[in-house]
């Protein structure tokens, strides 16, 4: 059976590489049915979110998963570079319905109205407001063929929360009524004409019964035809429902009930997230091949609980990622002080502003890439109102294997434009704990704490402090280069200082701790050196290096600044180490460039000395 072959392949393959296993095990039959009913790529299939597209990849000819999410291998999300069958590469949730609406409108205007557009959206993504903006507009196009498949497994990363989740829970009870009607049809039709009349009367009550028990009017009230719930693991039932939806010729919602992790016992019994995403595992047991090292997220998880014990006004918010961002221990100890708003980052930020106004100190924990979605709210609802809200950005900088949309490299450049905002970047466990405590102590402005994905580096203690700036190393009698390492890149900065020292070039290596705004203490240090070198894992353009250069210029100081960071581009999936090497962010690369710059400065000074007139 095809479905079993696909599941066996997914377990065997993803267990070797890591990836999004649970979501794809849950959409096997659903995806097979879609490809049997619709003619992809002529009829576009848009996935929201793209982590449930592995089966789609297999059915469209991409069957080498040996390097899944690795450089040169298959992406973990849809990719136009891989196939004409892929439409949307952005793996941020709640966008597929807007994409599908736009494609359907274009098809109609181009005379291709006979083509259907299919949007596959997980129930978790329906907690995002953008999905409902799209539904409002989709309903206005009754002559556009657009099929919305709601993949309802009761989960996004973890169990789906909120009013919509309760609504879908009610809809899931409907199959019992379908079974009653099925029994009635079989039984009553055997009794001839009287039985058929009785069945018709019973069938006429069907909608009323459904509306009482399962208020699908939420969708039909918008003017969108509703089919379901359908067993998403019954290929025949799914094909029938999708064929009916396609033939309708207008917007239709097909509500499919699926089970995340279906067919793989370790995933089915995983309470936390049904193996939403896994590393390399033993396929027989689902256990990790190597235990995870203690990471940044774990430190935050422990420290925010300690803060919560001392301060009853501290509350936490997240967007459908309670466990991934480290808030599960806080929720366990303080269940009334945690708010998971679903995949609704904009709402989370503005709700936090309201909480701050009413006397609380909210901590909003997100992946760095997802704060992009709430930028307007950070600017206009938090910063404008000088709200004391702390943002904790996990997976900041280069995350690598999840590709362009998940690299958390935009945050510093984006947030630098926000008046009054303060941003800290810890370099190790001790500075994460200290800077989080400092952040939640600020009550009149937004504060941000950002740190990368993965395991903690070795502790990097300061050898001194100049004002607010940590001094990490001093080399040579006359320091010529100030090396500024932002966050985890402070470790690279130390390597640069040591490499320069080996070449006889003196340096001071520092960690600004609070990277934005640029502190006066850092400006004083910069003036004492001939060259400033900054290293960060965010955008080089408009990042911390740019901010320091601008601040020096504004102060009338002409010390040159060499900024090293990530280029302003969308990055293909690769490991963090590969990207660091590609962008010349290794210590040896930066030291080589800095030594060359120092030599250039010396040569220029010598020329100026020769050209200066005597007397």
Length of the chain in terms of residues written: 615
260 included as an active-site residue: yes
Q: Is the CB of residue 174 less than 8 Å from the CB of residue 229?
A: yes
Whether the bond between 517 and the residue before it is cis, its omega within 30 degrees of 0, is: yes
- Cα dihedral 482, 487, 492, 495, rounded to 10, equals 60
Residues making up the annotated binding site for thiamine diphosphate are: 51, 91-93, 124-125, 153, 264, 345
In this structure, the number of other CB atoms found within 10 A of the CB of residue 612 comes to 8
Among residues 236, 35, 52, which one has the least CA distance to residue 155?
52
Query: What does each C-alpha distance from 494 to 295, 583, 595 come to in angstroms?
Result: 21, 18, 15
Which parts of 331-463 are beta strand (E)?
Answer: 338-340, 361-367, 390-394, 422-424, 447-450
178 included as an active-site residue: no
User: Residues 6 or more apart from 13 whose CB is under 8 A from it?
Assistant: 65, 66, 68
Query: Which structure tokens are listed for 130?
Result: 């953008």
395 included as an active-site residue: no
Choosing from 274, 373, 395, 453, the catalytic residue is 373
Q: Is the CB of residue 484 less than 8 Å from the CB of residue 548?
A: yes
Choosing from 57, 260, 337, 549, the catalytic residue is 260
Query: Which structure tokens are listed for 399?
Result: 């995350």
Q: 302 in helix, strand or coil? A: helix
Choosing from 303, 345, 435, 536, the catalytic residue is 345
Continuous H helices in 173-223: 175-189, 193-204, 206-213, 217-220
Q: Is the CB of residue 123 less than 8 Å from the CB of residue 151?
A: yes
User: Residues 6 or more apart from 122 whose CB is under 8 A from it?
Assistant: 23, 48, 49, 52, 93, 150, 151, 152, 153, 155, 156
Residues making up the annotated binding site for Mg(2+) are: 123, 153
Active site residues: 260, 345, 373
């Amino acid at each position: 059976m095809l479905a079993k072959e696909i599941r066996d392949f997914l377990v065997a393959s993803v267990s070797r590489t890591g990836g999004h296993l649970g979501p794809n095990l849950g959409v096997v039959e659903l995806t097979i049915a879609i490809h049997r009913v619709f003619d992809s790529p002529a009829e576009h299939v848009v996935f929201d979110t793209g982590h449930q597209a592995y089966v789609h990849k297999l059915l469209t000819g991409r069957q080498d998963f040996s390097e899944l999410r690795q450089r040169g291998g298959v992406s973990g999300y849809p990719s136009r570079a891989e196939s004409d069958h892929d439409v949307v590469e952005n793996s941020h949730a709640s966008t597929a319905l807007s994409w599908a609406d736009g494609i359907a409108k274009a098809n109609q205007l181009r005379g291709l109205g006979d083509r259907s557009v299919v949007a596959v959206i997980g129930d978790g993504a329906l907690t995002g407001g953008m999905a409902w903006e799209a539904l409002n507009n989709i309903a206005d196009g009754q002559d556009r063929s657009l099929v919305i498949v709601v993949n309802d497994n009761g989960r996004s990363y973890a169990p789906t929360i909120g009013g919509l989740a309760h609504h879908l829970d009610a809809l899931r009870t409907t199959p019992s009524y379908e079974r009653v009607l099925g029994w009635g049809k079989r039984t009553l039709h055997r009794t001839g004409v009287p039985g058929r009349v009785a069945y018709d009367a019973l069938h006429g009550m069907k909608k009323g019964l459904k509306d009482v028990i399962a208020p699908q009017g939420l969708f039909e009230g918008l003017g969108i035809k509703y089919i379901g719930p359908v067993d998403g693991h019954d290929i025949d039932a799914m094909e029938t429902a999708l064929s009916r939806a396609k033939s309708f010729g207008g917007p239709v919602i097909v509500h499919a009930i699926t089970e995340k992790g279906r067919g793989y016992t370790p995933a089915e019994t995983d309470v936390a997230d049904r193996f939403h995403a896994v590393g390399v595992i033993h396929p027989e047991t689902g256990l990790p091949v190597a235990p995870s090292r203690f990471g940044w997220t774990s430190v935050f998880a422990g420290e925010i609980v300690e803060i919560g014990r001392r301060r009853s006004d501290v509350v936490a918010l997240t967007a459908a990622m309670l466990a991934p961002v480290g808030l599960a221990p806080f929720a366990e100890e303080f269940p009334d002080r945690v708010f998971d708003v679903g995949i609704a980052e904009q709402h989370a930020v503005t709700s936090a502003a309201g909480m701050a106004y009413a006397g609380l100190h909210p901590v909003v924990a997100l992946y760095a890439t997802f704060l992009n979605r709430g930028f307007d709210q950070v600017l206009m609802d938090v910063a404008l109102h000088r709200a004391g809200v702390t943002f904790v950005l996990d997976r900041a900088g280069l995350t690598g294997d999840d590709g362009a949309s998940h690299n958390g490299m935009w945050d510093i450049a984006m947030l630098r434009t926000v008046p009054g905002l303060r941003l800290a970047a810890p370099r190790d466990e001790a500075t994460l704990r200290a800077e989080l405590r400092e952040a939640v102590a600020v009550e009149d402005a937004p504060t941000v704490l950002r740190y990368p994905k993965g395991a903690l580096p070795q502790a990097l203690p300061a050898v001194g402090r100049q004002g607010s700036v940590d001094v990490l190393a001093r080399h040579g009698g006359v320091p010529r280069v100030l090396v500024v390492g932002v966050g985890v890149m402070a470790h690279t900065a130390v390597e640069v200082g040591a490499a320069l020292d080996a070449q006889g070039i003196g340096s001071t290596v520092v960690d600004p701790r609070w990277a934005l705004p640029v502190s006066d203490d850092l400006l004083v240090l910069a003036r004492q050196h001939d060259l400033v070198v900054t290293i960060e894992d965010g955008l080089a353009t408009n990042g911390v290096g740019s901010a320091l250069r601008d601040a020096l210029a504004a102060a009338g100081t002409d010390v040159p600044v060499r900024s090293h960071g990530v280029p302003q581009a969308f990055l293909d999936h690769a490991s963090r180490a590969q990207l660091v090497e590609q962008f010349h962010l290794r210590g040896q690369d930066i030291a080589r460039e800095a030594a060359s710059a120092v030599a250039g400065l010396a040569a220029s000074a010598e020329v100026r000395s020769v050209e200066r007139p005597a007397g």
